[in-house]
A = this chain, B = another copy of it.
Amino acid sequence: MTMVGPENADQARLLRMLRDDGPRSRVELADALGLARARFGAEVDRLAAQGLVETAGPAASRGGRRSSLLRIAEQVRFGAVVVGEGRLDVALTDGELRVLARHGEPIDVRVGPEAVVGRAVELLAKLRVEAGLARLAGIGVALPAPVAVRDGAPASSPALPGWHRFPVRDTVAAELGCPVQVDNDANLMALGEHHAGTGRAFNDFLYVKLGDAVGCGLVLDGALYRGATSGAGHIAHLQLTEDGPLCVCGNTGCVEAYCGDAALVRQAVAAARAGRSAALGDRLAAAGALTMADVAGAATDGDPIAQTLVRDAARRLGQVLVNLVSFANPAIVIIGGAAPGIGPVLLAEIRGVVYRRSTPLATDSMPIVLSDLDDRAALIGAARLISDQVFAAC
């Protein structure tokens, strides 16, 4: 494969500016980069010759000679793969990381990495052909487990049985002939938020991912923070109580055992079977099983048992956040993955705990909000991850 990319730091900065801020006039860009016109023109010509940037029409006049708008070239497309809890999503984005085309389908990660990664490759290849592209500029992959980022492979995790050390990065790169990066899904959701969501306005924030697995991505000093061994943000198995419910990890009282979707669903099923909630009982009888959407639906319909389940989980999450917020002092906490409809209750409970207990210096005016990117956060974050590599000076 032919490698394309910026040849120096100025070209790299230019590409990232166009990615992050969209089309801008040549005059503005040259000013922002602190480059003389001739030098700037030469750098742009080299990027254009590589097919990385192109003219997007005339810029709005600022008086004097009219400048033209520059943008990332149309043909620059990133791929994104998100392996989720029971779902596989793939997407193509443009150079500004907007999702242009996507496909999602149910999967069972327990069939193993070969089948799931193989299917992701197939779907990406299909999207690429549909878009009329010879190749993708790069692909980012999100996995619902700790990832050894340097190896491009998942670490051992109950969420991905049989995936330990499977070379996800190298497999996808070999199949599709472009650069690939792999990371944990909560990390990439945080990156997606930082690129296109509420997190865009903040240099320091925590992104908390709810779902069957609970996770946290940290953006600190404007960059994703992964820790010494790619382990930062793994809050699922922090212990809230010593005598709490049993967790999938084998310990008791973990955050996930209190706040994970599976934990709530389990309690909801028990309540339905015991006849304590007619609303949950009806849903269970109708479908033969309950999902988090059922619990959320019953709660928003006013079922007191379902509401209590949601509130208790939110309060537990609040207890964890109190500590994390005091320790890390983020500017904002963004919560993603909440089941439809329960956002307001969730936020009210979490805020109640956090604002009551945190140290003033850490929480003065610190907002706690729901993500507004829905399930695009991880896709955009995956594209962002690989674009950071592709748009870096060689």
Query: Contact residues of A with B, CB < 8 Å?
Result: 146, 155-156, 202-204, 216, 220-221, 223, 225-235, 237-239, 251, 320, 322-324, 326-331, 357, 359-362, 364, 366
Q: How far is the CA of A237 from the CA of B366 in the complex (A)?
A: 18
Q: A204 to B229, alpha carbons, bound, how many Å?
A: 10
Whose C-beta in chain B lies nearest to the C-beta of A357?
B239
CA distance in complex: A228, B205 (Å): 8
Which residues of chain B are within 8 angstroms of A226 by Cβ–Cβ distance? 329
Cβ–Cβ contact B251 & A357, under 8 A: yes
Name the one of B225, B239, B326 contacting A231, with C-beta atoms under 8 angstroms: B326
Counting from the closest, the 3 A-B pairs by CB-CB distance are A227-B329, A231-B329, A228-B331
**Which residue of the partner chain, among B156, B223, B326, contacts A238 with CB atoms under 8 Å?**
B326
CA distance A328 to B327 in the complex (A): 10
B326 touches A229 (CB 8 A): no
Is B329 a contact partner of A229 (Cβ separation < 8 A)?
yes
CA of A227 to CA of B165, assembled, Å: 34
Q: Name which residue of chain B comes closest to A146, CB basis.
A: B361
Considering the chains assembled together, what is the distance between the CA atoms of A357 and B253 in angstroms?
12
Q: Which residues of B contact A216 (CB under 8 A)?
A: 327
Interchain residue pairs with CB less than 8 A apart (6)? A155-B361, A233-B329, A234-B361, A235-B327, A238-B326, A327-B327
| Closest B residue to A233 using CB positions | B327
Choose among B322, B327, B366 the residue that contacts A232 (Cβ–Cβ < 8 A).
B327
What residue of chain B has the Cβ atom nearest to residue A241's Cβ? Answer: B241
Q: Is the CB of A326 within 8 A of B235?
A: yes
Chain B residues near A326 (CB-CB < 8 A): 231, 234-235, 237-238
Give chain B nearest CB distance to A36 CB in angstroms.
19
**Is A227's CB under 8 angstroms from B362's CB?**
yes
The interface residues of chain B lying within 8 Å CB-to-CB of A234 are: 326-327, 329, 359, 361-362
User: Nearest chain-B residue to A325 (Cβ)?
Assistant: B231
What's the least CB distance linking A363 to chain B, in Å? Answer: 8
Give bound CA distance, A76 to B235, whole Å: 46
Could you say which of B231, B324, B328 contacts A359, with CB atoms under 8 Å apart? B231
Q: Give Cα A204 to B228, complex, Å.
A: 6
Pairwise interchain contact B357-A232, C-beta atoms closer than 8 A = no
Known: A230-B361, A327-B328. 15 other contacts (CB 8 A): A203-B228, A221-B225, A228-B329, A228-B331, A231-B326, A231-B329, A231-B361, A232-B327, A234-B326, A235-B327, A238-B323, A238-B326, A320-B323, A327-B327, A328-B328
